[in-house]
Amino acid sequence: MPKWLRRQLEQGPKISMVNRIGRDGRLIRQEEVQNETPGLIPILAQLSAVDRTVQAAYYCHPTILHIGKTPNEGGFCGYRSIQILVSYIQGARAQGHDEFTGRTPGILKLQDMIELAWDRGINDIGRAQTGGIKDTRKYIGTPEAQALFLSSQIDCAVDVFSDSPDGRLMAHEQLFNAVEKYFQKAAIPDDRSNVFKTLLPPIYLQQPGHSLTIVGFERRKDGSCNLIIFDPMFHTSPSMHRLKGRRNIRTPRPEVLHAYRRGARQLKMYAGFEILMLTAHPPLFPAWDV
């Protein structure tokens, strides 16, 4: 890892204070973190609700942050996806939140935590395969994410999907089925809406060469499916920023949802996927206010 990048990671993302007008008309001073965007899950849920092509949609806990890359850092997508799961643990005060006090842990901290997990013998084959990751740009994936959470006494489980030998069920179809079942188990029926707002954690998703985070699922009226994902390689668009805080979205915005949807067209090119799910029961205190 070059010295300039290590310095950038040590300093962390830029933090600024901005003035916003609250719903009561008063001026509110808020903190903004360069690569973190809160409040997207309630907006995405509203956009699914007004899309007439969606039969049912499911969303995870609303406190999750979208966390993306910082300038010139390259591809730390595995770490950024871990950070998004940590944002759930912090925001929901879920199992393990005492391990993650203060701000979202940076990449260097996560590297230390993975190395410590290896020291404890958890998935330590990763050390043999990588030669160690501390102060490097080396790729990490599901085994390293699992090692970090298990070392922190956070319950999690990994599942793997691959194209069936007979070609009858492709990996992405198995993934869709598993994610839909994951959300359906926690969905509370609501006759007034086709959107089910859960308190579930997001899901770490590993596709060949890239890590993403699943934050929701859509089944459309034509039978097709979409994963709703946070991709750490992309920043939140200006059009999405303009919708933040809205509670009464009534106009479909497919061009906004497009950046978060992953359907069969995008996923069928991959022959395999891995997911990591946090398996502790989520807290039951109210979290949705829209």
Model confidence over 187-211: pLDDT tens digits?
A: 877 778 899 999 999 999 999 999 9
Annotated active-site residue in 60, 172, 225, 231:
231
Q: Which whole number is the average pLDDT over 103-112?
A: 96
pLDDT at 105 over 90: yes
Among this protein's residues, is 98 annotated catalytic? Answer: no
Question: Which is more confidently placed, 282 or 87?
Answer: 87
Catalytic entry in 60, 77, 156, 225: 77
Question: What is the per-residue pLDDT across 53-64, written as a single tens digit (0 to 9) for each?
Answer: 999 999 999 999
Which domains does the chain possess?
Answer: 3-278 (3.90.70.130)
Residue 60 is a catalytic residue: no
pTM above 0.85, yes or no: yes
Residue 214's nearest CA partner among 200, 229, 225, 199 is 229
235 belongs to the catalytic site: no
In the set 124, 163, 210, 235, the catalytic residue is: 210
> Quick check: helix, strand or coil at residue 14?
coil
pLDDT of res. 151? 97
- On whether the CB atoms of residues 231 and 258 are closer than 8 A, the answer is no
More confident residue, 201 or 287: 201
